[in-house]
Amino acid sequence: MLRYLLPGALLLTACERVVEVDVDEGPRRLVVEARLERVLGNVSGAQAIRLSTTGSYFSNALPPAARGATVRVTDNLGNAFPFVESSTPGTYVTTALTVERGRTYTLRIDWEGQRFEGVEQTMSVTPIDSLYFEAPKPGRFSGEDGVRATIDTRDPAGEKNFYLWDQFVDGRRLLGPDSSFKLRIIAPDDAVDGKPVLGFQPYEGIDIPVGSSVVVRQVGISESTYRYYFALSDQVSADGSIFSVPPASVRGNVANRSNPRQPALGYFYVSEVSEARAVRR
């Protein structure tokens, strides 16, 4: 009897050991969220760029805002558009920049004695033909119950296109059904070049409740932007197994002209966007 009780007694008397982990935080880095958009059917000069900084590894707070930056965008025709910091710290806005097809835009940020620059050309997008609601289709995260936001569109023939999709439900952008799936949905047109894309459910795991208002946004992106988000999704989905990619910072396209060894994190791109809206009845 004793030999069976002894292991149990050891378990009952065991205690947790707190291990202090010393993480090298590294230098503070600028984080850029800069997407200039031309929304088909609703073209506007209102644009916003968000700047923040990296924070402490173990902090639960939102990333600190990058205050006091000088932000300007110029196009290849010499037009300049200054952005001013709004009442939201770290958010810089303008109402005068209407994105045009075929133009190249340069973002310049001066912040804390350093200059950052990124260059992108406007990427076109094909319109969403329709948005409706259907039962989930077979997929990794589709589930079996409820209905999903579903779109029809057509990919242009003879072009190499890359897409990103956003989905908003009652004004909230939703990425996935649980905390393990927080990826932006992206895709190349390799399998659908020049073909209709029917019954596509970009966010296959998100059930749409009755009465909810849904917006699906189809964004045209460049190949380099696609590769950035692909690498970012690898990092987000890494589970620490031997098959995961090694942890690393994903390098964007905003260079640090003052200190090239410390480029900004995040990305700058310029896109056409097709939006579709519907309410689930």
Q: Find out whether 178 and 195 touch, Cβ atoms under 8 Å.
A: no
pTM of the model: 0.84
Q: Tell me the residue type at 157.
A: A
What is d(CA 50, CA 207) in angstroms, rounded to the nearest whole number?
Answer: 30
Percent helix, strand and coil across the chain, each to the nearest 5: 10, 40, 50
What is d(CA 109, CA 93) in angstroms, rounded to the nearest whole number?
Answer: 13
The pLDDT score that the predictor gives to residue 240 is 62
The pLDDT score that the predictor gives to residue 10 is 44
Phi, psi of 148 (to 5 degrees): -125, 150
The pLDDT score that the predictor gives to residue 174 is 82
Structure tokens at 193: 């070049």
Structure tokens at 111: 């912040």
Q: How many residues does the chain have?
A: 281
Check the CA dihedral 250-255-259-260 and report its sign.
positive
The pLDDT score that the predictor gives to residue 28 is 87
Please give the chain's pLDDT, 281 residues, in tens: 444 444 444 444 555 666 555 555 667 899 999 999 999 999 999 999 999 998 776 677 788 999 999 999 999 999 999 999 999 999 999 999 999 999 999 999 999 999 999 999 999 999 999 999 999 987 766 777 899 999 999 999 999 999 999 999 999 998 765 444 456 789 999 999 999 999 999 998 899 999 999 999 999 999 999 999 988 877 766 656 666 666 667 789 999 999 999 999 999 999 999 999 999 99
The pLDDT score that the predictor gives to residue 24 is 57
> Domain residues of the chain, as ranges?
30-124+249-272
Name the CA radius of gyration of the chain, rounded: 23
CATH tag for 30-124+249-272 (out of 2.60.40, 1.10.3470, 3.40.1000, 3.30.499) = 2.60.40
Residue 102, phi-psi category: left (phi > 0), alpha (psi -120 to 50), beta (remainder): left
The pLDDT score that the predictor gives to residue 32 is 97
* Cβ count near 9 (within 10 Å): 10
